[in-house]
């Protein structure tokens, strides 16, 4: 499967009502595009996915997050993993799901097994859908975009400051955030 980033998109309505999409690709993608054209056969069904490119979080910010989690854990006599999980539950990204009561325990077990930041817990029994429970499923920070990660880092920095732990200066934190691609 080929993936080509493009820098523009145009659409035209053809006389028969079909819509023609034109992707404007940057210089240097000719060989990738030629490879696709060589594979293309009119009698084969094809699909394409167009997705917005999100800025990725920097490894430097992720490393800083874990350093602060460790310092907070030391101060509170707990683990850095517990500090991280509390931060995820406080400001992390989550999805509310309606799960049949008989599947709640299994769902939570499977969700939590996906990674340290994946935390699922029951919220309440659904009154509109008897026999179902609302489950809150938190997503681990490895899935976060730069804005979501910035919120998590800001939360951890604030927690560290409240405990009297030295943190990076605002300029250093801004530099780390600016390094996000």
Same domain as 158, residue 112: yes
100 and 158 in a single domain? The answer is yes
Q: pLDDT: is 24 or 4 the higher one?
A: 24
Reply yes or no on whether the pLDDT at 42 is more than 70: no
Q: How many domains does the chain have?
A: 2
User: In residues, how long is the chain?
Assistant: 181
**Does one domain contain both 47 and 64?**
no
Alpha helices in the chain (DSSP H): 30-39, 59-76, 80-91, 101-112, 146-162, 170-178
Indicate whether 49 and 78 sit together in one domain: no
Final residue of a domain: which of 53, 72, 97?
Answer: 53
Q: Answer whether residue 1 shows pLDDT above 60.
A: no
**Non-local CB neighbours of 103 within 8 Å, separated by 6+ positions:** none
92 in the same domain as 69:
yes
What's the domain range around 90?
A: 59-178
Mean pLDDT in residue range 53-61? 63
């Amino acid at each position: 499967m080929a993936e080509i980033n493009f820098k523009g998109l145009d659409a035209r309505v053809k006389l028969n009502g079909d819509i023609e999409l034109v992707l404007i690709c940057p210089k240097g993608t000719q060989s990738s595009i030629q490879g696709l054209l060589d594979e293309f056969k009119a009698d084969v069904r094809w699909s394409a996915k167009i997705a917005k490119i999100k800025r990725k979080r920097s490894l430097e910010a992720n490393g800083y997050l874990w350093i602060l989690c460790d310092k907070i854990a030391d101060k509170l006599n707990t683990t850095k993993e517990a500090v991280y999980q509390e931060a995820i539950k406080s400001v992390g990204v989550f999805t509310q799901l309606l799960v049949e009561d008989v599947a709640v325990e299994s769902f939570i077990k499977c969700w939590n097994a996906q990674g340290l930041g994946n935390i699922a817990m029951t919220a309440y029994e659904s009154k509109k859908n008897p026999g179902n429970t609302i489950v809150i499923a938190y997503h681990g920070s490895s899935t976060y975009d730069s804005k979501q990660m910035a919120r998590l880092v800001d939360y951890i920095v604030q927690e560290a400051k409240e405990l009297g732990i030295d943190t990076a200066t605002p300029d250093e934190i801004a530099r780390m955030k600016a390094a996000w691609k």
